[in-house]
Amino acid sequence: NAGVTQTPKFQVLKTGQSMTLQCAQDMNHNSMYWYRQDPGMGLRLIYYSASEGTTDKGEVPNGYNVSRLNKREFSLRLESAAPSQTSVYFCASSEHRGSSTDTQYFGPGTRLTVL
């Protein structure tokens, strides 16, 4: 099992460009998450999907959109990238959000730079 995979690993954008970060998990998890990590900080939740067909805002959702494509895949879109969105982005998944099986497993991260 690959666990949680993310593409791309690195990306450089110019201000105003758009892009989509892809995430997939093969653990048959119901819940998926997108986080960002800024220097000297822990992770902050951008959006999550508790189950297929649902998405909700996290702590820092502004400037982002998400799509839960199916049970395996959860994408994060930046419509008009800004330098403040320069960060490392992590996708995570857990069996069931809000339950005793809500242990989150993380992907390898995407380092995004917006010039």
Q: Is 2 in the site for another protein (CB under 8 A)?
A: no
| Residue 20 identity | T
Candidate segments 12-20, 21-29, 73-81, 100-108, binder of another protein by CB under 8 A:
100-108
Give φ, ψ of 77 to 5 degrees. -120, 135
Cβ neighbours around 43 below 10 Å, total: 19
Supply the minimum distance, in Å, between the C-beta of residue 71 and another protein.
19
Q: How many residues bind another protein (CB under 8 A)?
A: 22
- One character per residue 38-57, x = contact with another protein (rule: CB under 8 A): --xxxxxx------------
Q: Is 109 in the site for another protein (CB under 8 A)?
A: yes
Angle at CA of residue 35, ends 31 and 41, nearest 5°:
140
The whole-angstrom separation of Cα 16 and Cα 90 is 22
Cβ neighbours around 79 below 10 Å, total: 12
Binding residues for another protein, rule: CB under 8 A, are 40-45, 58-59, 88, 90, 92, 97-98, 100, 102-106, 108-109, 111
